[in-house]
Structures are given as structure tokens and as C-alpha cells.
Chain A
Amino acid sequence: MLLSLETATVRFGGRAVLDGVGLAVAEQEIVCVLGPSGSGKSTLLRAVAGLQPLDAGRVLLDGRDQAAVPVHRREVGLMFQDHQLFPQRDVAGNVGFGLRMHGTAKDERAARVAELLDLVGLPGAGGRSVAALSGGEQQRVALARALAPRPRLLMLDEPLGQLDRTLRERLVVELRELFGRLGTTVLAVTHDQGEAFALADRVVVMRDGRIAQSGTPLEVWQRPADAFVARFLGFENVVEASVDGRVAITPWGKVPVAEGAAEGVRTLLVRPAGVRLLPAGEGLRCTVAARAFKGTHVAVHLQPADAPRLEAACALRSAPEVGDEVGVELDPADVVLLD
């Protein structure tokens, strides 16, 4: 393993911001830590970089304990949330900074800076002032600066946080392609699930300083570990249900579940695609409370008489209007038992 954290713990005034975190990142793997603000994900990066001392546990790089290694000798790269470009240096001065610190010869440095600026799509920008760059360009310069000294591990803190949506979606594809080509090992943190799923080989969901779930984007998306993860991923149809044999009893009615499911009170998720609309009078009787256009579909909020609201994903043409009466049935294929 290139990077391993063993029961890494950081406390701020008695509160554990990182609470016994164990995490391993393999060579050339792209791992994305996903969590709401305050979940401890930035602290995780700072601990690996050596900017935040651990109160307990260990950080290992290539199997070696880093406790005694100061920040500037760890050979990891960190791209800060708001880039932190050096304002008094031009673009080339920023990108070449790490090389200069490592004593790289001038010619070699210039060549490497030019190569990196090409790589991030800013050829010939070396002489520009960083104050004159747009948000997207700053982002690219920050990336080039972090990559320049060829760090063993590249860490990204909310790499695309401040950019507008179209730019973000384009850059995330570019980044994944770039890291794949360079074979870079990446540990990124973000609060944006779309970003995490698009970028990562593996997603790690954090909550209150602990790891709530770890898996491939598909695994996490299909089987959220618990109600917190499900809600954080944007799923609203999460309720308690009691499982009895092959049937789960939910406030929305009975739903068949897979054989062998543990019995008793469980948390159950119904994906919006699995909420099927029927003509009024059939199935669970609901009123349409609200609808939101989502581009590819319409999210329809349905209010049953005496049960929590249900969100349904409807095709654009067949979506009912607010106030309509409809019937609802749940597709067992989109019903997931959590925890």
C-alpha cells in the first residue's frame, strides 16, 4: 500500500475530528473521500501532509511511519481548496516552486514547467500574473504546481469546489483521464457526490470523523451502508420497515424482499425510479404535492394520506400535475435494505 492510515485520531478541544480512521490507498488508485462539511475530510488530508499532528494512530507512506518526517520531506502534493497560489510570483514561478525547493537545475525546471503547462492546457502562460487568471485557470496552475515535483501521492482538497457547473463537469473528466495517463496516486476530498463518483476508483464516505462506507462508486450508489449515507447521496425515500420472511412492512405498504434478509426492524430505501405511478384508485393513494424538473426526468413529490412523502422519478411527458390524485406501487428491484 502506498498510503495507510491506522486508527488516525485528531482532537480539537476534546472533540474528535478524526476518530480512529483506517484507510489504505494503493499505487495508482484514485480515492475520493466524500462527506458533508465538518466531517473531518480536510483534516484527513492535512494529517497525511504532516500539517496536522495526530493525537493517536499512524500515517504510513510506502510502509514507513511518517511521525518524525516534517512536511517538506514527505514528498506528497496537496492542492488547496482555494489554490493558495503565491501572489507575488507569476505562473511559471508558481509551477516551478517545488522544483526549485528540490534543487532542480534551471534548464530542467523550465522544461518541466513548460511540459506541465501544456499538460493542464495553458501552454505559454508562464509569464502571466496569477492575479489575472480566471478561476478555472488558477485551478489548472494549482494542479500543475502540485504535480511538478512528481509527488508520490497527490491530494486534492475540494479540487473543483469554486468553479461553475459546466466547467466542473468538463474538468472532472479531464482530471480522471490525466491521472490515468500519468499513473498518479490520488486522494481527493469533496462534498459533491457527482464529483466523487466521476473521479474516483473508490469512494470513502465520512461522517463525524469516522468512515461510514467505502467501496466503488457503483457499490456505494447501489447499496448505501446506512440511512446517513443514503440521505447524503440525495435519496429521500428512507424509512424504517419491519422485515418478516420475504416481506418488509413499510408505511407505504408491503414490499417483497430478497430471501435470507435479516428479520426485524431495518432501514429501507426505495430509489425514486422504483416508485411507479398507477391510475388513481389502484395501489397506494397519493396526492402530488410538488414537482421539480430535472432535465432528464421530473422529480414528483407524492403525499400519501398517513405516511411520509415519496419521491418518484417520472418520464417528462407522463408526469402528473400538482394536485393530481395518483396511485403508487413500489418496484422490488429498486428497494434496498440498508444496515
Chain B
Amino acid sequence: MALPVAFFAVFFAYPVAAIVRRGLRIDGAWRFGRFADVLGDAGIRHVLWFTTWQALASTALTLLIALPGAYVLARLEFPGRQVLRAVVTVPFVLPTVVVGTAFLALLGHGGLLDQLWGVRLDTTVWAILLAHVFFNYAVVVRTVGGLWAQLDPRQEEAARMLGASPLTAWRTVTLPALAPAVAAAALMVFLFTFTSFGVVQILGGPTFSTLEVEIYRQTSEIFDLSTAAVLTLVQFAAVGAILAVHAWTVRRREGALKLVDAALTARRPRGAGQWTLLAGVLATIAVLLLLPLAVLVQRSLTAPGFGYYRALTDPDGGVFPVAPISAVGTSLSYAAAATAIAVVIGSLAAAALTRRDAGRLVRGFDALLMLPLGVSAVTVGFGFLIALDKPPLDLRQSWILVPLAQALVGVPFVVRTMLPVLRAVDARLREAAAVLGASPWRVWREVDLPMVRRALLVAAGFAFAVSLGEFGATVFIARPDNPTLPVAVARLLSRPGDLNYGQAMALSTILMVVCAVALLLLERLRTADRSGEL
């Protein structure tokens, strides 16, 4: 427990506090008056308003589009269901920069729609909203669908026997059972879209800006640290509130629901209604999730003879001091280090949270662990720069700085993956081993480890993908001669010219493939899990 706490104190709380202090403590006095100044500014108020309403609109749109998908993937049995479930998860771990780039290639200037029908959406808010749906489809499918697949169908059958029509039975039995999961998913989507950075940075243009983008602009372009500090605190408060509500809905969801094995609830589609639904969901996934990625790949190939890919290996491209392709190696090694840190810290935290004598304080830590997901990554990145520059913690020149920042985002995923598995290990299984003569250490090795091993791998995979795609913090602290993949993509996109654009598409494609491979390996582990042993 001590190690995770220390980790978060030094690498999360301290940098964030440092940057707030730097911004609000001017000439030795706290200037809380800055709040009124900043929040009174019409431009800032516009940003706040836009951040909120686009998050609400994105959440509503995501629910509308993804809930039928959750049902189809949870309850209908059809060939390729497992693969499809993996496919819809790919966008979630894709770097936001890639998502932005893909939608730019689809909807932007010279994009697919522009070529076909002369339609451009990149100057409208629709591009942002659709990219957010793309990104968060999996959140709804996983959270709601996961529960939906496990709801006992006999509950609905019992309602039917008591005289309820199919619709009434669904409305009175299934919907109330699902409601907390829907609420939890909606809050997660709201959280992710409220703090959206990479997507808005690329698709928003000069017109649209979220809080996170504004914090980035204030710190790195205008150098107005006190405004940035105020905005950071505002976002902190908002995220804290969202997480509190989320924790509350999750706790309610853990109430007395009757769950069964997911393998038992899926049925082959029956009747015109279910077939139409299935077709509709498949079409949605194809258009909304697969098409942008396909366009991305296609754009990267428009130069003859893989020209853009070959350009990546040219060290004299002008944008970086090194060949852009070297970003792949840099990203992979950073992500590997970040994964190792996240797995160690996350497992320790999860183990501490599972202990039966864990008190209120520790359970509160559970919620705190989610904070890095929502707190401005830009702030963390910049905070690293200004806070970790003095001995004994002078890490500015150290390569470890980037993995540390990326691990912060990875830890919540590790904890989320490990906790349910550790909690599900029946204490009596450990007792059974002990009675048969296993010492406590042997019990851990023989009982806990085999069960947790897969979860550990899954968690590591998630942390790896998330670290690979981390942009907001990395953009500050990655050194120019050693950019990571997302940073390189963003840098290339900001330069004019077809060659730079093409190289950005090619790098994004590489990043996407690396993420997708990591994720598909994960899904294989998971399904192997379900079919046999756990």
C-alpha cells in the first residue's frame, strides 16, 4: 500500500500542486482573485460552455448508437461475434491523435466525403462528436453489454408468465437492472469526452476548444500560467464530482442482481426484428468504426511504392532531428517501461484493496486511483517539467520521465482489471490448499497466481496500449530528438505539405497496427479464459 501511495504523491499530486502554486502564488501571495478574472472572461466562459455541451451531446449520441450494439454483442449468437467484440474495442485504446487523424482523412479537406460528394464536416462540431462516438463505443458495449450478457433471462420469463408483454417485461425487469450500468457507462463517456484533448486538438481547429485544449494553449502558447492553473482546478473539481457520482452508481450496481454465465444467455437471432437489429449494428460498426481506420490506411498508401512509409526512414526530413520511423522504437521502449511501472504499482494497489480488513480509507483510495484518468494530462506533463527539476528529484534529463507520466494513466486500468479477479478468488479455495498442507507462500503460488496470471497479462496489455497512445502529458516532456509516435504524428500534421500529411497517415497506421495487435492478443487470452478455467 505504501508504494502506490508514495508513487501517486510524488508523481501525481506533487506536480499538479506545483503547477497550481506556480500559477496562483505571485510575489509570495496567493491570488485567488484570478478565479473571478478568468471565469469572467467571455472567451473562457465560451470554452467552458462548449466543453460541457459537447460532452453531453457526445455522451447522448454514444449511448444512442452503442446501446443496440451492446444488446447484439451480448445476447445474439452469430459467427464472428468474438472477433467483432475485439474489433469494437480497438478504437478505445487507439491514440486520440490517430482517431483525430482518421476522421480528418474521412471528413476533412480532401477527405473521402469531400472527394465523393463535396461534403466537409471538419469545420463543424459533428466531426468531434462522431470521433467521440468512435472512441467510446467500446465503453458502452463493455460496461452495459457485459452486464446484459449475465442477466438471468428467467427473470424476464417470470415476468412474461405473470402476463407482461415482451416490451413491458423488458421495461420493468431488464431496464431497471441495466440502468446503473448505463449510468456508469454514460459517466465514463462523459468523463472521457469532457477531458478530450487529442481529438479536439486535431479536429477542433480554431473554433472549438475544450478545457484541456485551452489549458494546453494557455501553458504552451500564451504562457499564461495563472489562467492555466485556474482552469486546471476547475477541471479537477468537475472530474472529482463525476468520479464521485460514478463510484456511487457502481456501488449501487453491486446490489443484489441475479447473474448467470454469459455463455448461457446468448441465442441465435429470431424473427425479422432481431435480424434487422443485427444488420443495423453491423452496418454501424462498419461505417463508424471500420471506415475511418480503412481510410487512414488508404491515405497512407496514396504515394506510389509505399512512398510515405519510405519517407519515414529518411533522417533528413526536416521535422525531427531523427528519422520519423525511430519514433516506433522510442514509443515501444517507453511503453514497455511504463507498463512495468503500472503493473507493479497497480497490482500492489489492487492487492491492498482486496484485503478483507481494508478500511474506509483504503476504499477511498480506490476512487482516487481513477483521478489520473480525468485530471488534465497536460497539467501533469507540464507539472513534471517544473516540479521534478530539483535534486533529489531532478529527472528532467532522464528518459524515465515519459514512462512515469504514461504509467499514471495505465495504473487505473491495471487496478480495474485486477480487482474483480482478486475479489472473485474464493477465500475457501485458499483454505482448502492450506488444509492440504500448503504454506501461505505456497497458497499464493498455487491458488492466486494461476487465477490472476491472465488478468495480469490483460492488465499489462491495456497499460501498454494506453501508454503507447498517451499524448497530453508526453507532448510536454518527450524530447524533440526522441518523439513518441503520437507526438510525431501531431508534429507532422501541424506542418504543411502532402509529404508531411502522408507521413502522419503512415505513422498513424503503424501505431494503430501495433495497438490492434496488442489488443487482439489480449482478447485471445480473455476468450481462452472464459472457455475453460476461470
Measured CB to CB, the residues of A under 8 A from B are 49, 51, 70-78, 80, 82, 84, 86-88, 97-98, 101-102, 129, 131, 145-146, 149
Residues of A close to B254: CB separation below 8 A: none
Q: A49 CA to B428 CA in the complex, in Å?
A: 12
Given contact pairs A72-B436, A80-B431, A149-B437, a sample of 16 additional A-B residue pairs in the complex whose CB atoms are under 8 Å apart: A70-B439, A73-B437, A78-B431, A78-B435, A84-B426, A84-B428, A84-B429, A88-B450, A88-B451, A88-B534, A97-B436, A97-B438, A101-B433, A129-B532, A131-B532, A146-B436
Cβ-closest chain A residue relative to B447: A86
Cβ-closest chain B residue relative to A74: B435
Given contacts A87-B534, A88-B451, A129-B532, contact A51 B431 (CB under 8 A): yes
Tell yes or no: B432 within 8 A of A by CB. yes
Q: Mark B61-91, 1 if CB is under 8 A from A, else 0.
A: 0000000000000000000000000000000
**Do B533 and A88 have beta carbons less than 8 Å apart?**
yes
Residues of A close to B429: CB separation below 8 A: 84, 86
Residues of B close to A71: CB separation below 8 A: 431, 434-435
**Do B437 and A102 have beta carbons less than 8 Å apart?**
yes
Residues of B close to A80: CB separation below 8 A: 428, 431-432
Tell yes or no: B495 within 8 A of A by CB. no
Name 12 interchain pairs, CB-CB below 8 A, sorted by A.
A72-B436, A72-B437, A72-B438, A75-B437, A78-B432, A80-B432, A82-B428, A84-B429, A87-B534, A101-B436, A129-B532, A131-B532
Residues of A close to B426: CB separation below 8 A: 84
Tell yes or no: B442 within 8 A of A by CB. yes
**Do A101 and B438 have beta carbons less than 8 Å apart?**
yes
Residues of B close to A102: CB separation below 8 A: 437
Q: A123 CA to B433 CA in the complex, in Å?
A: 24
Residues of B close to A84: CB separation below 8 A: 426, 428-429, 431-432
Chain B contacts with A in 352-373, Cβ cutoff 8 A: none
Q: A131 CA to B451 CA in the complex, in Å?
A: 15
Residues of A close to B439: CB separation below 8 A: 70, 72
**Do B434 and A72 have beta carbons less than 8 Å apart?**
yes
Q: A73 CA to B442 CA in the complex, in Å?
A: 13
Q: A129 CA to B531 CA in the complex, in Å?
A: 12
Cβ-closest chain B residue relative to A81: B428
Most buried by B among A75, A101, A129: A101
Q: A131 CA to B263 CA in the complex, in Å?
A: 14
Q: A75 CA to B434 CA in the complex, in Å?
A: 10
Q: A131 CA to B261 CA in the complex, in Å?
A: 13
Given contacts A84-B429, A87-B533, contact A76 B451 (CB under 8 A): no
Residues of A close to B433: CB separation below 8 A: 86, 97, 101
Q: A72 CA to B434 CA in the complex, in Å?
A: 5
Cβ-closest chain A residue relative to B450: A88
Q: How far is the CB of A146 from chain B (nearest CB, A)?
A: 8
Q: Lowest 4 A-B CB distances belong to which pairs?
A: A98-B436, A101-B437, A71-B434, A84-B432
Measured CB to CB, the residues of B under 8 A from A are 426, 428-429, 431-440, 442, 446-447, 450-451, 532-534
Q: A73 CA to B438 CA in the complex, in Å?
A: 9
Residues of A close to B434: CB separation below 8 A: 51, 70-72
Residues of A close to B440: CB separation below 8 A: 72
- Of the candidates B431, B442, B533, B534, the one whose C-beta lies within 8 Å of that of A101 is B442
Residues of A close to B446: CB separation below 8 A: 86, 97
Q: A74 CA to B431 CA in the complex, in Å?
A: 13
Residues of B close to A145: CB separation below 8 A: 436
**Do B450 and A77 have beta carbons less than 8 Å apart?**
no
**Do B533 and A51 have beta carbons less than 8 Å apart?**
no
Q: How far is the CB of B52 from chain A (nearest CB, A)?
A: 47
Cβ-closest chain A residue relative to B431: A51
Q: A82 CA to B426 CA in the complex, in Å?
A: 11
Residues of A close to B431: CB separation below 8 A: 49, 51, 71, 78, 80, 84
Most buried by A among B433, B437, B447: B437
Q: A74 CA to B439 CA in the complex, in Å?
A: 11
Residues of A close to B435: CB separation below 8 A: 49, 51, 71-72, 74, 76-78
Residues of B close to A49: CB separation below 8 A: 431, 435
Q: A72 CA to B533 CA in the complex, in Å?
A: 26
Residues of B close to A76: CB separation below 8 A: 435
Q: A97 CA to B446 CA in the complex, in Å?
A: 9
Residues of B close to A129: CB separation below 8 A: 532
Cβ-closest chain A residue relative to B439: A72
Q: How far is the CB of A38 from chain B (nearest CB, A)?
A: 18
**Do B437 and A98 have beta carbons less than 8 Å apart?**
yes
Cβ-closest chain B residue relative to A49: B435
Q: A78 CA to B431 CA in the complex, in Å?
A: 9
Most buried by A among B433, B434, B442, B533: B434
Residues of B close to A131: CB separation below 8 A: 532-533
Residues of A close to B428: CB separation below 8 A: 80, 82, 84
Cβ-closest chain B residue relative to A155: B435
Residues of A close to B432: CB separation below 8 A: 78, 80, 84, 86
Q: A101 CA to B438 CA in the complex, in Å?
A: 6
Q: How far is the CB of B529 from chain A (nearest CB, A)?
A: 11
Q: How far is the CB of A23 from chain B (nearest CB, A)?
A: 19
Q: A80 CA to B429 CA in the complex, in Å?
A: 9
Residues of B close to A97: CB separation below 8 A: 433, 436, 438, 446
Cβ-closest chain A residue relative to B454: A88
Q: A98 CA to B442 CA in the complex, in Å?
A: 12
Q: How far is the CB of A216 from chain B (nearest CB, A)?
A: 29
Most buried by B among A72, A74, A98: A72
Q: A146 CA to B433 CA in the complex, in Å?
A: 10
Residues of B close to A74: CB separation below 8 A: 435
Most buried by A among B432, B435, B532: B435
Q: A97 CA to B430 CA in the complex, in Å?
A: 13
Q: A74 CA to B436 CA in the complex, in Å?
A: 9
Residues of B close to A98: CB separation below 8 A: 436-437
Residues of B close to A77: CB separation below 8 A: 435-436
Q: A157 CA to B159 CA in the complex, in Å?
A: 37
Q: How far is the CB of B353 from chain A (nearest CB, A)?
A: 23
Residues of A close to B447: CB separation below 8 A: 86
Q: A80 CA to B79 CA in the complex, in Å?
A: 41
Cβ-closest chain A residue relative to B437: A101
Given contacts A51-B431, A101-B442, contact A149 B436 (CB under 8 A): yes
Q: How far is the CB of A249 from chain B (nearest CB, A)?
A: 52
Residues of B close to A88: CB separation below 8 A: 450-451, 533-534
Q: A107 CA to B131 CA in the complex, in Å?
A: 62
Q: A111 CA to B436 CA in the complex, in Å?
A: 18
Q: How far is the CB of B480 from chain A (nearest CB, A)?
A: 49
Q: A131 CA to B439 CA in the complex, in Å?
A: 26
Q: A101 CA to B440 CA in the complex, in Å?
A: 12
Residues of A close to B451: CB separation below 8 A: 88
Q: A51 CA to B442 CA in the complex, in Å?
A: 16
Q: A297 CA to B122 CA in the complex, in Å?
A: 86
Residues of B close to A149: CB separation below 8 A: 436-437
Q: How far is the CB of B478 from chain A (nearest CB, A)?
A: 42
Cβ-closest chain B residue relative to A87: B533
Residues of A close to B450: CB separation below 8 A: 88
Cβ-closest chain A residue relative to B442: A101
Q: How far is the CB of A297 from chain B (nearest CB, A)?
A: 37
Residues of B close to A101: CB separation below 8 A: 433, 436-438, 442
Q: A72 CA to B361 CA in the complex, in Å?
A: 33
